[in-house]
């Protein structure tokens, strides 16, 4: 008997798929999530409808890029952003969008449109078809896998592969996925066996990737399911920066997944994923605060800006929460507006005087930052 045949995975355990965890240890985390959710939704109501649409599209664009990057797929931001805008009836621009960019944009839009919709096989097949758009190397697009050979997650050279996980055999996919879908729908708010949001999102992700029902794209769909869980818990679509948080420490993500796929006691995984959600919630709150700060700043300087300042300020806001790396410089301003150095200096001083920008440093080291609270940590980090 070889070493692989001795390996026991979570789905081979007698308690599969009954995941267990110390409920008491997560009560405070769930309480944090609910408190922050209340603040987030309260803040969201203060965002104007136009800015709300811009905010949602920015969050969806970021998630689309990062969930793809986790799988090693680097997409063009402008193309994804343009495609998502098109899904919401906004001018998508004239950019050429690849099938992969169009597909992940379609998934993000679908997750946003109706998060309260029940999960079905057909919905999952639709999502898989979206994210596999343009792929010719994947068999069985839009259906569960059917091949006889084991579905394994492997790394290393062919002569010495390391098996990180082996999923249930393809012949059990219909049974496994019927059970998963029943669990997902039963645990939704107001249904037969509702679960708290953080635990439900944690289990949904781990449970789905443990089944690994598709030839490819399982991670992206699992993260989409976690987004669906969180929106259902809030009763409305509020995209959260889950993949952004995960991608920043991708090695930890895969490491905890691997250590959690051999048993069904999931405290380690639930701890990790709860922290991801809370960090994503914090980032999303900052994005909402950024949108509110943007509206307030424009209200303060209305009628005071010349065309160059309007153009530059709009460009700085397009950089989003992270802003220009190291802050806006005079050279940046010249590049954006075409102004001379003397005019750029005068314009930047004017933006500072009217309270639109905050300056740090002097002379050649001078950098300019949006004067809104949500970007303060960027200024502090650059000092």
Residues 198 and 280 in one domain: yes
Task: Tell me: do 309 and 371 sit in the same domain.
Answer: yes
Domain that holds residue 318: 304-382
Together in a domain, 343 and 265: no
CB 284 within 8 A of CB 241: yes
Is 147 among the domain residues?
yes
Number of domains in the chain: 2
Does some domain include residue 293? no
The answer to whether 227 and 242 have CB atoms below 8 angstroms apart is yes
How far is the first Cα of the chain from the last one, in angstroms, to the nearest whole number?
A: 61
Q: Is residue 50 part of a domain?
A: yes
Residues of the chain with pLDDT under 70: 1-7, 92-94, 377-383
| Closest to 121 in 3D by CA, of 191, 189, 174 | 174
Alpha-carbon torsion (246, 248, 252, 255), positive or negative = positive
Q: Could you tell me if 248 and 311 lie in one domain?
A: no
Note whether 257 and 374 are same-domain residues. no
For residue 186, the model assigns a pLDDT of: 98
In a domain, 295, yes or no: no
pLDDT at residue 3, rounded to an integer: 44
- CATH number, domain at 335? 1.10.10.10
Q: Are residues 361 and 262 in the same domain?
A: no
> pLDDT for 115-128, tens place per residue?
999 999 999 999 99
**Which backbone phi and psi does 102 adopt, to 5 degrees?**
-65, -40
Considering the domain architecture, whether residues 9 and 79 belong to the same structural domain is answered as yes
**What is the per-residue pLDDT for 7?**
64
We report the CATH number of the domain holding residue 113 as 1.10.3290.10
Give me the DSSP letters along 280-321.
Answer: HHHHHHHHHHHHHHHHHHHHHHTTT--HHHHHHHHHHHHT-T
Whether residues 240 and 310 share a domain: the answer is: no
Give the whole-angstrom CA distance, residue 293 versus residue 285: 12
Beta strand residue intervals within the chain, DSSP E: 152-155, 162-166, 357-360, 367-370
67, 58 contact by CB (below 8 A): no
CA 300, 302, 306 angle in degrees (round to 5)?
Answer: 125
Instruction: Using a cut of 0.85, tell me whether the model's pTM lies above it.
Output: yes
Q: Supply the angle between the helices 197-211 and 173-186 in degrees, to the nearest 10.
A: 170
| In a domain? residue 202 | yes
| Residue 373 placed within a domain | yes
Q: Which of 288, 320, 349 is the last residue of a domain?
A: 288
Does residue 164 form part of some domain?
yes
Out of 288, 322, 346, a domain closes at: 288
- Which residues are bridge partners to 265 per DSSP? 20
**Whole-number Å distance between alpha carbons of 131 and 133:** 5
Q: Is residue 299 part of a domain?
A: no
Q: Are residues 239 and 360 in the same domain?
A: no
């Amino acid at each position: 008997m070889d070493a692989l045949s001795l390996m026991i995975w979570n789905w081979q355990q007698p308690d599969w798929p009954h995941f267990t965890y110390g409920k008491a240890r997560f009560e405070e985390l769930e309480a944090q999530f609910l408190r922050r959710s209340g603040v987030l939704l309260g803040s969201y109501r203060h965002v104007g409808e136009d800015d709300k649409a811009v905010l949602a599209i920015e969050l969806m664009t970021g998630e689309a890029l990062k969930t793809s990057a986790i799988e090693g797929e680097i997409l063009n931001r402008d193309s994804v952003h343009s495609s998502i805008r098109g899904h919401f009836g906004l001018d998508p621009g004239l950019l050429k969008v690849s099938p992969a960019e169009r597909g992940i944009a379609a998934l993000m839009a679908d997750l946003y449109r109706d998060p309260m919709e029940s999960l079905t096989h057909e919905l999952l097949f639709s999502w898989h078809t979206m994210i596999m758009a343009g792929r010719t190397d994947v068999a069985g697009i839009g259906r569960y896998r059917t091949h006889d050979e084991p579905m394994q997650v492997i790394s290393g050279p062919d002569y010495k592969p390391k098996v990180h996980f082996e999923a249930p055999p393809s012949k059990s996919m219909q049974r496994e996925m019927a059970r998963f879908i029943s669990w997902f729908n039963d645990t939704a708010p107001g249904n037969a066996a509702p679960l708290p949001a953080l635990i439900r999102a944690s289990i949904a992700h781990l449970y789905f990737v443990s089944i690994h029902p598709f030839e490819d794209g399982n991670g992206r769909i699992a993260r989409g399911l976690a987004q669906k869980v969180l929106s259902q818990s809030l009763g409305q679509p509020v995209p959260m920066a889950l993949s952004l948080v995960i991608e920043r420490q991708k090695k930890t993500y895969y490491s905890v997944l691997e250590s959690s796929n051999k048993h069904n006691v999931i405290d380690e995984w639930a701890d990790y994923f709860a922290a991801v959600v809370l960090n994503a919630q914090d980032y999303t709150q900052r994005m909402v605060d950024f949108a509110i700060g943007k509206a307030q700043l424009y209200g303060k300087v209305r009628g005071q800006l010349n065309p160059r300042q309007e153009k530059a300020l709009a460009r700085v806001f397009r950089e989003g929460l992270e802003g220009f790396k190291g802050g806006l410089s005079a050279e940046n301003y010249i590049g954006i507006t075409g102004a001379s150095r003397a005019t750029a200096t005068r314009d930047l001083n004017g933006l500072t005087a009217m309270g639109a920008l905050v300056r740090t440093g002097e002379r050649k080291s001078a950098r300019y930052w949006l004067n809104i609270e949500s970007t303060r940590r960027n200024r502090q980090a650059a000092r």
